[in-house]
């Protein structure tokens, strides 16, 4: 039987609740699909600070690098907001991504037919949306030097090297090949030199992917088009800051933050996590929606472990649970037949996995 080593970081707030339900679902699917997952838990975030005095212990970095993939909950909370910046959970998270060199952030936004009314956009605009934002995660203006603020003048630097653009572009083209072979690269090449290099480099890579239909769009237009007609997109490739903004816009197309997974992949390992935070306002009440974390677990099976059938089975089971009217509290006003707790949603999806196999 195939075995995989999975590092688990539950984190703070609702993190432990949602990760426990994703593990329930992973246990069900690994049983049905005949492979074994060895889990090892590591500390990060506020809880790691409380226990070790460091929001990102070295043991966590080493453990995650040596695992096949990492399933991550969420970190942070008001309790740690007054700490010096470098000891705060969020600083630990940024360092974590940089240390693991996870340069490609994949954020799918897929509409569940059962939840078309949960979005603030009209149903006819969002029906059938199934897109993937590929965002460069560890370069660009968030990391560029020099940077400064002397109280009178402040600046940051948007830098991309050709190599950085090549490696993220390849991820996006490879994904496009597995999807509908349409790729839209988003930049601001009409005013930024760095975007011109981005565009030229993407064009060069495109030569190796003749089956992929490549288009380019300026970021201001892309923001507008995502809301006007999101169905026109399949894979969107973009840099760090543009991707940050566009992926949040894309997430609102779907409706609830509790539904959106993500993968951050790199050369050493990959991290799979919901896009939401630790939701301290609802922690410990059993009302958090675990679906984004279950979807992240499905991405982990598909992209890191090559267990696509198991990933499909998780996604199908979530869809079935929604079709049959099971909703956590955040979605209770959208065609709910049964409002269930976080743990009940885990059991329901796990049961569908056993039934649908
Ligand atoms: P948040 O995403 O935690 O919560 C925003 C709102 O969405 C809240 O009302 C929350 O109750 C709701 N929500 C989030 N996830 C939900 C779920 N699964 N089910 C139902 N409702 C859900 O964002 P925030 O309130 O701005 O931040 C809270 C803490 O999380 C902060 O400390 C922040 O720094 C941290 N944070 C961590 C990450 C991460 O770990 N990757 C990401 C974003 C924010």
- pLDDT tens figures, 72-123: 999 999 999 999 988 999 989 988 988 999 999 999 999 988 888 888 899 9
Distance CA 273, CA 260 (A): 9
Cα end-to-end span (Å), the chain: 18
**Contacts with 304 (C-beta within 8 Å, 6 or more apart), sequence order:** 68, 69, 265, 269, 270, 272
Torsions phi, psi for 5 (to 5 deg): -100, 120
95 burial level (CB within 10 Å; 0-12, 13-18, 19+) = middle
Respond yes or no: is residue 220 known to be catalytic: yes
Per the confidence metrics, is the pTM higher than 0.75? Answer: yes
Residue of 248, 275, 279 to test ligand 1 pocket, by largest number of atoms within 8 Å of CB: 279
**Percent share of the chain, pLDDT over 90:** 89
Taking phi first (over 0 means left), then psi (-120 to 50 degrees means alpha), and beta for anything else, what does residue 266 get? beta
**Contacts with 338 (C-beta within 8 Å, 6 or more apart), sequence order:** 325, 326, 327
Ligand 1 atom nearest to CA at 77: 32
Where are the chain's structural domains?
Answer: 1-103+266-357, 111-129+139-240+249-258
CATH fold for the domain made of 111-129+139-240+249-258: Isopropylmalate Dehydrogenase (3.40.718)
Respond yes or no: is residue 248 known to be catalytic: yes
Respond yes or no: is residue 50 known to be catalytic: no
1-103+266-357 has which CATH code? 3.40.718.10
**Active-site choice (20, 68, 130, 248):** 248
The DSSP output letter for 335 is: T
State pLDDT tens for residues 47-80. 999 999 999 999 999 999 999 999 999 999 999 9
Residue of 60, 88, 260, 276 to test ligand 1 pocket, by largest number of atoms within 8 Å of CB: 276
Same fold, 1-103+266-357 and 111-129+139-240+249-258: yes
């Amino acid at each position: 039987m195939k075995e995989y080593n999975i590092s688990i970081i539950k984190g703070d707030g609702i993190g432990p609740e949602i990760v426990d339900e994703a593990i329930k679902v992973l246990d069900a699917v690994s049983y049905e699909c005949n492979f074994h997952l060895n889990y090892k838990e590591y500390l990060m975030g506020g809880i790691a600070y409380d226990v070790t005095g460091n929001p990102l212990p070295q043991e966590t970095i080493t453990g995650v690098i040596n695992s096949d993939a990492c399933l991550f909950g969420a970190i942070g909370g008001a309790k740690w907001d007054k700490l010096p910046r470098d000891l705060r959970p969020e600083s630990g998270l940024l360092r974590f991504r940089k240390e693991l060199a996870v340069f490609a952030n994949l954020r799918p936004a897929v509409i569940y037919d059962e939840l078309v009314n949960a979005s603030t956009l009209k149903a006819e605009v969002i029906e059938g949306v199934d897109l993937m934002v590929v965002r460069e995660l560890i370069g660009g203006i968030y990391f560029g030097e020099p940077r400064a603020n002397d109280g009178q003048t402040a600046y940051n630097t948007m830098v991309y090297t050709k190599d950085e653009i090549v490696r993220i572009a390849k991820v996006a083209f490879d994904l496009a090949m597995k999807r509908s072979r349409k790729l839209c690269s988003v930049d601001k090449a009409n005013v930024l030199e760095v975007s011109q290099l981005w565009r030229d480099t993407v064009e060069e890579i495109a030569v190796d992917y003749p089956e992929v239909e490549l288009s380019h769009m300026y970021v201001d237009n892309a923001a507008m088009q995502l809301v006007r007609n999101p169905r026109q997109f399949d894979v969107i490739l973009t840099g760090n800051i543009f991707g940050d903004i566009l992926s949040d816009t894309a997430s609102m197309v779907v409706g609830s933050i509790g539904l959106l997974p993500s993968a951050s992949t790199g050369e050493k390992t990959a991290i799979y996590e919901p896009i939401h935070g630790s939701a301290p306002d609802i922690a410990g009440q059993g009302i958090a929606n675990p679906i984004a974390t279950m979807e992240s677990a499905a991405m982990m099976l598909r992209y890191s472990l090559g267990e696509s059938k198991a990933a499909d089975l998780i996604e199908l089971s979530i869809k079935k649970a929604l079709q049959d009217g099971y909703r956590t509290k955040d979605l209770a006003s959208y065609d709910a037949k049964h409002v269930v707790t976080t743990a009940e949603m885990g059991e329901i999806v796990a049961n569908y996995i056993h039934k649908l196999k």
